[in-house]
Chains A and B, each alone.
Chain A
Amino acid sequence: MNTHVIAPAPPLRRILSHAALEARILLTNGEQILVAIVMPALVLIGLRLLPVGRLEDVAPIDTAMAATLATALVSTSFTSQAIQTGFDRRNGVLRWVATTPLGRDGYLAGKILATLGVHVLQVLVLSLLGIALGWRPEVTGLLLLVPVWLTGTVAFGSLGMLVAGTLRTEAVLAVSNLLFLLFVSVGGIAFPLVSYPRILRGLVDLLPSGALGELMRAGLGGGALMVGSFLVLLVWAVGGVLAVIRWFRWTDS
């Protein structure tokens, strides 16, 4: 006779346990560290040293930090999650978790928590690097960026899940890395919209990366909150979640 209690662990413990596993995998994988820390750090150093991506009346270190933190957000929310979830889907992990007490909801909740946890770590490391390079952040600007940060995480996280849940694993790798590079280089993250040719400006303005880049620069450069850009990011976030609900496939077959 089984005298043990056969029951699931409490919901919060299950989710925290999954978040810890995901965060551990993210932080112990060399390629993921490259994407999460090294590439944003290169953006910071590049923009600090080269006379590009700057705005009039804004200290170069502020625009550089804005681009760096936006790059960090996209790297973890989009690229890392797309790759990790894509492999989990191919390896049948998404099927297996659905049969455990964690379930699909718990898997997603843990994943979001792990992403936010890694974000905090990225912000800390990159901020220290920024401070070493002369960045002096204002607390008000940083606080204004919290809703931007959360909306951006949802927008890029859902895009990452969409890539992971609809494409073959090989395609997930290629697409997520390519889009990451495009978002950062020509999608409005590394360079402000004013530096784009007029004809492209309207297009980049409507990209989630363009909106995020502009909002980060406004927040860290002491500019006014840009309602238009925030709405663009919000639409991407809501649309992304709806698209994931509609098209995400939990199995590879």
Chain B
Amino acid sequence: MHNDTPALVAEDLTLSYGPVRALDGLDLRAEHGAVTAVLGPNGAGKTTAISCATGLLRPDGGSVRVLGEDPWRAGPGHRARVGVMIQDGGLTSGAPALTLLRYGASLHADPLDVDEVAQHLGIDEFGGTLVRRLSGGQRQRLALALAIIGRPDLVFLDEPTAGMDPSIRRRVRTLIKGLARTGTAVVLTTHLMDDVAGLADSVCVIARGRALASGSVDEVISDHQAGRGAACLQATLRDIEPGSLDALTADLQSLAAKHGARLELGAGGAADLESVLLDLMEEDA
């Protein structure tokens, strides 16, 4: 059971690598039972922010609390509650996949059932293969399994679906949604807008080490559009008879004209968010 305190609260984080300012006053929050996506271009500070939240880096300034603790000083008890999937995998190359997953489980008092997790993510298909012989997508699945094997309260996933084929990606998305539904706070970074639109309860867009926008996907999109002097309403009409499509389109156009709005027909969601992201980057440049 969780209290109302967010699983992750980072405020005004700063961190420099020599002359390079990787984090420049970053604010980031993640709630229990929700998927928070951290978006931004390469070099925006996403991985640095996650490194601070997982205790791998100590920020120069600001504060970060993860499950109420300072991750830099936290001990094994805290680390058991936080699952981490790092970007380059972090997998020992000389071990077979399933051996490594069993090892990861053995570090926890009451882990998930290794065979169930392996089966769910299809790791059993390559369980005896050495990590160094696995494909990129297979490594991603193993790293994801290792991140969740200890039933974490908070899980950090750095580009979890990169390199995965569509069917596995769908399975992974279902798994991530399932984690959030059972109360886990999920923080993920991604470049795939499909991941965000279909998964994230909230997003944080960062660039140059600062948060440019944050909130739910809809909020970020509508705030951004309102800021540009116009709001946007998106509706999806289903079960349309093919024969009445033209008439419906004409009706919609006249309705839009009546209110002085411009009508755009077609797919939305992911594409919208992507354009918001690009606009924000452009404005920040």
Contact = CB atoms under 8 A, between A and B. Distances in A.
Contacts of A97: 90
Contacts of A87: 93-94
A17 interface: yes
A6 B150 CA distance: 7
Count chain B CB atoms within 10 A of each CB in A5, A29, A95, A98 and give the residue with the most. Answer: A95
Interface residues of A, number: 37
B104 interface: yes
Given A2-B182, A99-B56, A7 B82 contact: no
A177 B106 CA distance: 33
B55 interface: yes
A205 B77 CA distance: 48
B108 A8 contact: yes
A10 B108 CA distance: 8
Count chain A CB atoms within 10 A of each CB in B81, B146, B150, B152 and give the residue with the most. Answer: B150
Given A6-B81, A6-B151, A6-B152, A96 B90 contact: yes
Contact of B107 (A8, A20, A251): A8
B99 interface: yes
A8 B80 CA distance: 5
B1 A1 contact: yes
Contacts of B100: 21
A93 interface: yes
B86 interface: yes
A17 B93 contact: no
A91 B143 CA distance: 12
Contacts of B95: 21, 24-25
A106 B104 CA distance: 13
A96 B83 CA distance: 10
Nearest to A102: B107
Contacts of B99: 21, 24
A28 B96 CA distance: 11
B153 to A, nearest CB: 6
Interface in B63-121: 75-77, 79-82, 84, 86-95, 99-100, 103-104, 106-110
Given A8-B80, A99-B86, A93 B92 contact: yes
B90 A101 contact: no
Nearest to A94: B90
Given A1-B1, A8-B108, A92-B86, A28 B153 contact: no
A29 to B, nearest CB: 6
